[in-house]
Structure 1
Amino acid sequence: MVLQAIQYEPASASSPPALRILDQLLLPHRTVYEAIAGCQEAHAAIKQMKVRGAPAIAIVAALALAVEIGAAAVAGKLPSSADEVKERIGDRLDYLKTSRPTAVNLGDAVGKLKVVAKKAALQSGATAESVAQAYIEAAERMLVDDVSDNKAIGEHGARWIEENTAAGRQRKADKSHALQVLTHCNTGSLATAGYGTALGVIRSLRAADMLTRAYCTETRPYNQGSRLTAYELVHDAIPATLITDSMACALLAREGDGLAAVVVGADRVAANGDTANKIGTYSLAVLARHHGVKFLVAAPRTTIDLTTASGNDIVIEERAPEEVTRIKGPKVTAEGKIQVDEAAEIISIAATGIDVWNPAFDVTPAELIDGIITEVGVVEKVDGRFDFGTIFQRPS
């Protein structure tokens, strides 16, 4: 069973909608779900990275406001008119948007949900309750649609790797051949509504009996690979190996044609194909090109920002120096037992007084990307350029 990091219960006759998220700060050693009662809790959870991953951020924000509105409706505390509900929805969405500036999915969701509220308020006979209900239904659809989109991304990516890599063709013809994939950061159920984007490709390859092993990078400094991706791979019983970020070059050199592709997610894809993703992605793309390994980005169409011309226009978030100079985790006894029930320890790992630069993302130039996997297919370059126009004309 694929991990479910976002748990949402629609409203019933006796209770408003409810939302819980898996607190990713406690993973991989403790699995704890936290209730999100409204926008303030969601904003804090996103800011603190209890929830992370561009699709998951957007969905948690959207559903948190649905929970807040639903609770207000049950308590009889909605504003009195349709227009006032529309305005409140807009204000709360603007507030949620400030939680993470780089992930385009959140901004995209905010824009679409504002349109939903505006259209609902313009309907003949619109009431505060009808606008609130229209918003709630739209937010709930985002959750359902994201899971189906992720599964489509996984299938398209797996098929592309089968057909366009040496390892894919060999494995399809003869199951004794290895087919391995390297991924970076976390792009699975923990970063989405479920199944995942880049990790969804890995899941689909495994389901088709194509994948023999997945490799995941540690993903310093926040360790999303070792804490989160490794957690999901173990949860799903997928053969997998963890490496530090600096081992990637040695891995690519050692595995040769057996390593079919590097598959990563994205926080924003510019109109020309330049891709912002977790720091360390750019270096993997350079290594993949040098070693002749396909480099693929897996992301829903909502991550493609046609209003951003290139990677030069993407604002890169910088995070606290302490993420680099300290690590946090449970103590381990001399016998190797992890003491998960005790408070986590924070350990200093750097010289006091050293300056730190800690960008959360880097931008991989489009020229280093072989394909961008979306829910409607894989976009490849034509005459050296990505053209996303056609995929926005296709239905999901």
Structure 2
Amino acid sequence: MPQELRAVAWTGTGLALLDQTLLPHRAETVHVRDVDTLVDAIRRLVVRGAPAIGAAGGYGVALALLQGRREGWTDERTRAAVARIRAARPTAVNLMVCVDRVMTRFEEGPDAVLAEAAAVQREDVEANRAMGAHGADWLLKRIGEDRPLRILTHCNTGALATAGWGTALGVVRELHARGRLERVYADETRPLLQGSRLTAWELAQEGIPHSVQADGAAAGTILRGAVDAAVVGADRIAANGDTANKVGTVGVALACADAGIPFLVAAPTTTVDPGTATGDDIPIELRDEREVLEWAGVRTAPAGSRGHNPAFDVTPGRLVTGLVTERGVLEVAAGELPGERLR
């Protein structure tokens, strides 16, 4: 992604969010100086991706403090505003973790809060770089063929979804930098097309060969031998390795298991939630049914039809060949459980 474009940036008085609802056709910035606007931006997916909304949430604590000082809020009201930011999207644990971390500096005032939020953002970029290298090393060793690899990915996990570089797409970028990437199959990712709008845009910026495909094509692409591995991100990982990611991910994992190829999850350790025992305990966000009943504001389903629109699904840990974090790779399906190894 061009260096000047960042998903989340602090301007000195508020947040600048690259509006991901408008990409790839327009690159515009939403300027945020109040809590209501930030909560709306997170819910509308102006900013999205677990690490990116975590960074936005961290800065949101400072935003709430500054707004509270301008408008004469009590501490109680300011804390309530922070709680609204923390709850804006219930599945992605990074938002909660980052808000909670920054809130440890709340009593010290805005400067201390901003310093902690900046540290969260900086550490995410560092973690992404490390997991990109670990993931590329593991894939090349695991697949063991001296040729460029063909990788399938689902949803968007690049610089747009993080503080910079990317998680799963960071692994892809590392393979590309090493000259070991032949092609990326990017699932379009229904219903909001984060794959075709965002992942393809990032890949095009990097000059990485890629093909966009319908989500329903993924299993067939894998089973006919056109893919060497799938690499995806995560919004929450339970202690037993069950992984919540964008809806449609579990079908990719099942196809990889049947084809006998690696299914790699790339996520920072902040995405691992040891307090969530299994995927059954992960709350799944249900979004507005209009996202699947309409297209561009035009009704596509019959008037009497109802929509079922879960934003995420849960892939059982037994299907996760590897979980790559900034610390290395855990082979979850072989019994290396993140709740035990990453405490």
Q: What range is the shorter-chain TM-score in?
A: over 0.9
- Partner of 1:8 in structure 2? 9
Partners of 2:278 and 2:40 in 1: how far apart? 30
1:356 maps to 2:307: yes
- Partner of 1:90 in structure 2? 79
Q: Secondary structure at the match of 1:216?
A: strand
Cα deviations across residues 308-361 of structure 1 (Å, max 9, x unaligned)? 000111111111111112122xxxxxxxxxxxxxxxxx3332222112211111
1:320 maps to 2:288: yes
Q: Secondary structure at the match of 1:190?
A: helix
Partner letter of residue 355 of structure 1? R
Q: Secondary structure at the match of 2:342?
A: helix
Q: Secondary structure at the match of 1:137?
A: helix
| Matched positions, count | 342
Partner letter of residue 308 of structure 1? T
Q: Residues 227 and 10 (structure 1 numbering): CA distance in 2 closer, same or farther, change over 3 Å?
A: closer
1:170 maps to 2:170: no
- Partner of 2:103 in structure 1? 114
- Partner of 2:207 in structure 1? 237
1:218 maps to 2:193: no
Partners of 1:363 and 1:96 in 2: how far apart? 24
Alignment of 1:1-396 (within 5 A): 1-2=1-2, 4-9=5-10, 11=12, 17-70=13-66, 90-117=79-106, 121=107, 130-165=108-143, 169-171=144-146, 177-256=147-226, 259-328=227-296, 346-381=297-332, 384-392=335-343
Find the structure with the greater CA-based Rg: 1
Q: Residues 147 and 78 (structure 1 numbering): CA distance in 2 closer, same or farther, change over 3 Å?
A: farther
Cα deviations across residues 118-141 of structure 1 (Å, max 9, x unaligned)? xxx4xxxxxxxx432211110111
Q: 1:90 offset after TM fit, Å? A: 3.1
Indicate if the aligned counterparts of 2:131 and 2:170 stay in contact, CA closer than 8 A: yes
Q: 1:78 offset after TM fit, Å? A: 7.1
Cα deviations across residues 68-89 of structure 1 (Å, max 9, x unaligned)? 535766x6x777xxxx65x565
- Partner of 1:331 in structure 2? none
Partners of 2:100 and 2:61 in 1: how far apart? 14
Q: Which runs of 5+ in 2 are unaligned?
A: none
- Partner of 1:334 in structure 2? none
Q: Residues 35 and 383 (structure 1 numbering): CA distance in 2 closer, same or farther, change over 3 Å?
A: closer
Q: Secondary structure at the match of 2:310?
A: coil
Partner letter of residue 307 of structure 2? V
Partners of 1:190 and 1:383 in 2: how far apart? 32
Q: Residues 312 and 382 (structure 1 numbering): CA distance in 2 closer, same or farther, change over 3 Å?
A: closer
Indicate if the aligned counterparts of 2:64 and 2:81 stay in contact, CA closer than 8 A: no
- Root-mean-square deviation (CA, aligned residues, Å) is 2.0
Partner letter of residue 304 of structure 1? V
Q: Secondary structure at the match of 1:159?
A: helix
Partners of 1:50 and 1:289 in 2: how far apart? 34
Cα deviations across residues 190-218 of structure 1 (Å, max 9, x unaligned)? 11111110111101111111111111001
Q: 1:108 offset after TM fit, Å? A: 0.9
TM-score (norm 1): 0.81
- Give aligned-pair identity as a percent: 41
Q: Which runs of 5+ in 1 are unaligned?
A: 12-16, 122-129, 172-176, 329-345
Cα deviations across residues 164-192 of structure 1 (Å, max 9, x unaligned)? 11xxx223xxxxx3411100011111111
Q: Residues 382 and 247 (structure 1 numbering): CA distance in 2 closer, same or farther, change over 3 Å?
A: closer
